[in-house]
Structure 1
C-alpha cells in the first residue's frame, strides 16, 4: 500500500512543487532547446520522475516500475493503437492514388492553400475531434495537409494549433461528462460555462493558422475568410452549448463553419498569389488538376474520411455502444494499492476497450476503405507492416511519456503542482486554466486532466469563494491549449507528416502559440470571475 503525500519536501508545498516540476521541466528543456531526440527525452524525464517519486515522495521502487508499466501499456493500447491505424488508413489512400485526387479536389473549393488549410485543419479536424478525439484529428489533418502540398513541419504545426477549440467538447463531450462526475456539478452547467470560454479562442484560431501558413501577407489577404470561419464556429459552439446540445456542440459548429466559408467564397475571392509564392512552404494543385478527375474518382477519394465520420457517429448510439461494450475487459492492475493523502483509495482499474476504442474504429474504417479503394488483402497487410516500421521511433516516445504521466500522477507529483497553483486566493481564477493546461501537457488528454484536477478546482473554488462551475470549466478550457505541446500529440503530429524524430522542432513552433492563447484564456476566466465579464455567464 502506497499512501500519497503532497508536501513531502520539508513540509513545504513550494519546495515540493519545485521537485514535482523537475520531470516536466527537463523534458521541455530537452525537446525545445537542447534538441535531444524525443524518445531519449522521454526516457530521461521518466528517470527524473521516478527519482522524485522515490526519493522525495517515498514511492517504493517496485511500485514506481509497476506504475510506469501501467502507463506504458495504457499508451500502447490507446495512443499507439490510434496512430498506427490512422497512418495505415492514410497510407492506403496514398498507395491507391486517391490521396492525390483528394489533394486536387480541394482546389475546387479554393485554389488558395491557405483557405484549404482552414477547411482541413480547422473545420474537418474539428469534426473528427468531435467524434473521435484522442489525437485522431491531428493525424488525419496533418496527413491531409501534406497531401495538398504543405511542408511537413508546417503541416504538423497547423494541425496541432487547429486542434484546440474543439477539444473540450471532443468525443461527444466526454471531458465535460468526466468533470461533472468528479465535481458533482451538473453536466449542463459546466457545458454552458465551457461554451462561454472556448468560443473566444475558436474565433481567433483561423487567424493564427493563416499567420503560421503565410505570416503578415496571409493575414492581410485572407483575414475575411478566417474571420467568417472562426466566428461561425465560435457563435455556433456558444449557442449549441447554451441552448441546443452540449454533446453535439463541435459537430454542429464544424459543419456550420465549413458551410459558412464555402458560401462566403461564392461572393468573395482572395488575392491571387503569383507563381512560386509558396515555393518554400507549399505546392498546391491548380483547379485544372481536379477537373481532370471524374466525379466518381473525386467521391471515392473522400470515402475513407466519410467512413471515419459515419463509423464514429454510429458508435455513439446507445444500442451500438452496448454491443461494442461486450468486448470491454476491466481488471485491477496487478500489484498496485494506492491511497490519497486523506486515505481515499485511488482506482487502478485497467480498461481494455477492444471494440469501442478509437483505434479499433479506425481499423474498421481502414478495412472498409481498402475494400472501397480496391486494394488487395495481401497489399493491405504489407502496407500495415510498412506502417509499423515507419512508426518504430514514435512508439518509445509515447510509451515513455505515458509512463512518466502515470508515475507523476500516482506518486502525487501532479497534485502537488495543482495545489501549489491553487494557493493564490482570488487570483486563482487566472491560474485555474493553467492547471488544466498543465494536466493535458502531462497526460495528453483533456478528459484525463479533468479527472485529475476537476475535484481540486471545485475545492479551490470553495476555499476562495469563486464559482465552482467557472473553475471546473476553466480546467477543461485551459486544457485544450495544452494539447498542442503534449509529447503524445507531438508524436502523433510528427508521425502523421513523416518526420518522426523532429518532435522537438514542432514543439518549438507551437509552444509560443500555446502560451499566448493560454494567456488570453486565463485573462478571460479571471475577468469572468469579476463583475467586468460576469455577464457572459
Structure 2
C-alpha cells in the first residue's frame, strides 16, 4: 500500500510543486521549443514522471510502473478505441467516394472556406463532441476541412480551436455527471453553472476561427455569420443546460447553430468569397486505391450534380451514428449495454490518499459494450451496406487505420501513462493543493487547475475526476461558492484540450502531418492562453457582487 505525500521536498508545497511540475514542463518544452515528435516527447516525459515518483515522493517502483500500465490501458480504451473507430468510418466513406459527395454538399451551402470552417469545425464538430467526444470531432472535422481545400496544419488548428465550447457537455455530458459524482454537488446546479460560463466561449470561438482562416479580413467580411452561429449556439447551450437536460445540451446547440447559419446565408453573403490558392490534395488519411480524389474547388463543376440517393448515402454514416447513440440512451437499452460492464481493481496497485482513504484511481472500468467506441463499431457495421463497400475492403480499411495511427497510439498511451503516474504518486495533488492555497484569489486561478488537468490528460472528464473535489475543498476554505469553482474546473478545462498532446497527436495524424505536433502546438497555444484568461476573469467576477447573480 502506497500512501501519497503532498510535500516530499523539504516539507514545502512550493518546492514540491516545482518538482512535481517537471514532467509537464519537459513535455511542453520538447513539443513547443525543441519541436520533438510527440510520441518521443511523451515517452521522455513519462520517464521523467516515473523518476520523480520513485526518487522524490517516494513511490515504490512496482506501483509506479503499474500505474503507468493502467494509464496506458485507459489511453487505448476508451479513448483510442473511440478515435480509431471514428476514423475507420471516415476512411470507408473516402474509399467509396461518399465523403466527396458530403464535401460537395457542404460546399453548396457556401463556397466560402471561412463559412465552411465555422459550420464544419464548430457546429458539426460540436455534434460529434456531443455524441462521442474524446478526440472524435478533431479527427473527423480536420479531414473534412482538408477535403474542402484547407491546408493540413490550418485544418488541424481550426479543428482544435473549435473543440472548446462544446467539450464540457461532450459525450452526452459525461464530464458534468462525473463532476457531480466526485463532488457530491447536484447535477442540475453544476450543469446550470457551466451553462453560464462556456456559452461566452461559444459566442467568440466562431470569430476566432475565421480569424485563423483569413485574419482580420476574414473577421471583417464574415462576422455576421460567425456571430449568428456563436450567439445561437450560446443561447441554446445556456437554455438547454439550465432548463432542459445536460446530456442534450450540445446536440441541441450544434443543430440549431448550423441551421441558423444555413438560413442566414439565404439572405446574406460575404462581400468576397474566400478560398486558399494552391491548396494541396490530402494524401494522409486517404486509403490506398481510394475511389475518389479530393480536389481544391469543392464545386459541382467537378462532375454532374449528385443525386438525392448519393447525398443521402453520404450523410448516412453520421445519421446512423446519431441514431445508434440516441438509442443507446433509452433506459432499457442503456441498462442492457451496461449489464456486461466490469469494474475491477488494477492488479497489484494499492494507493491511499494523503488523508489515508483508499484511492479510486486503481479502479478500471471496462464497459466494452456500452463504450462510445463500440457504438461506433456498430454504426460502422450498419454503414457498410448503406455506403456499398465490400466487407473485405471494410476490414482492410480497418487494419490500415491502425497502421496509420501507430504514432498517435503511442503518444496517447504514453501521455495517459504519464497522467496516471502523476495522479498515483501525488504529483497532481501537490500542484492542485499548492494552487488551492491562494485563498480568495483562488477564484481567479481556479479555471487554470482544470486547464492544467485537461492539458495533461486530454479529457475534461479526467480533469474533473482529478480536481473536482479539490475545487470544492478550496472553495470552502476560501469562503467561495462550491458550485462556482467546481464548474470553473470544467469550464477552464475545455480550453486545455487544444494543447493536450494526445489531441495534438490525433489532429496531426488525421491530416497526415505526424511528427509536426510541435508546430501545431505553437499555432494553438496562444488561443488557449487567451481564452483561459477570459474564463479566469469571468469566474473571478462571478465570485464577486459584480456577477454573483449568475451563480444558481
TM superposition score category, shorter chain reference: over 0.9
Q: Does 1:112 align with 2:112?
A: yes
Q: Give the aligned partner of residue 528 of structure 2.
A: 514
Q: Distance in 1 between matches of 2:153 and 2:111?
A: 21
Q: Does 1:325 align with 2:324?
A: no
CA-to-aligned-CA distance 1:257-312 (integer Å, 9 cap, x gap):
111111111110112337x7543589341254586211111111111111111111
Aligned-pair Cα RMSD in Å? 1.5
Q: Cα gap change, 1:244/1:80 in structure 2, threshold over 3 Å: closer, same or farther?
A: closer
TM-score (norm 1): 0.97
Q: 1:498-513 residue pairs with structure 2 within 5 A?
A: 498-513=512-527
The secondary structure found in structure 2 opposite 1:334 is: coil
Residue 245 (structure 1) shift: 2.1
- 8 Å CA contact 1:232, 1:256 repeated in 2: yes
Gaps spanning 5+ residues in structure 1: where?
none
Q: Distance in 1 between matches of 2:404 and 2:267?
A: 44
TM-score (norm 2): 0.95
Which of residues 506, 512, 523 in structure 2 aligns to 1:492?
A: 506
Residue 189 (structure 1) shift: 1.0
Q: Give the aligned partner of residue 298 of structure 2.
A: 285
Q: Cα gap change, 1:290/1:205 in structure 2, threshold over 3 Å: closer, same or farther?
A: farther
Gaps spanning 5+ residues in structure 2: where?
282-295
Equivalent pairs, count = 536
Q: Cα gap change, 1:16/1:356 in structure 2, threshold over 3 Å: closer, same or farther?
A: same
Q: Cα gap change, 1:290/1:130 in structure 2, threshold over 3 Å: closer, same or farther?
A: farther
Q: Give the aligned partner of residue 300 of structure 1.
A: 313
- 8 Å CA contact 1:101, 1:290 repeated in 2: no
CA-to-aligned-CA distance 1:403-437 (integer Å, 9 cap, x gap):
10100011010111111111111110010000000
Q: Does 1:438 align with 2:437?
A: no
Q: 1:189-228 residue pairs with structure 2 within 5 A?
A: 189-228=189-228
- 8 Å CA contact 1:113, 1:284 repeated in 2: no
CA-to-aligned-CA distance 1:49-71 (integer Å, 9 cap, x gap):
00111111110111111111111
Q: Give the aligned partner of residue 419 of structure 2.
A: 405
Q: 1:216-295 residue pairs with structure 2 within 5 A?
A: 216-273=216-273, 277-279=276-278, 283-289=296-302, 292-295=305-308
Residue 27 (structure 1) shift: 0.3
CA-to-aligned-CA distance 1:76-108 (integer Å, 9 cap, x gap):
222221222111111101110111111111122
- 8 Å CA contact 2:107, 2:148 repeated in 1: no
Q: Distance in 2 between matches of 1:305 and 1:470?
A: 36
Which of residues 363, 378, 388 in structure 1 aligns to 2:377?
A: 363
The secondary structure found in structure 2 opposite 1:119 is: helix
Q: Does 1:450 align with 2:473?
A: no
Q: Give the aligned partner of residue 284 of structure 2.
A: none
- 8 Å CA contact 2:150, 2:279 repeated in 1: no
Q: Distance in 2 between matches of 1:244 and 1:291?
A: 44
- 8 Å CA contact 1:108, 1:290 repeated in 2: no
Q: Give the aligned partner of residue 65 of structure 1.
A: 65
The secondary structure found in structure 2 opposite 1:34 is: coil
The secondary structure found in structure 1 opposite 2:33 is: helix
Q: Give the aligned partner of residue 31 of structure 1.
A: 31
Q: Give the aligned partner of residue 329 of structure 2.
A: 316
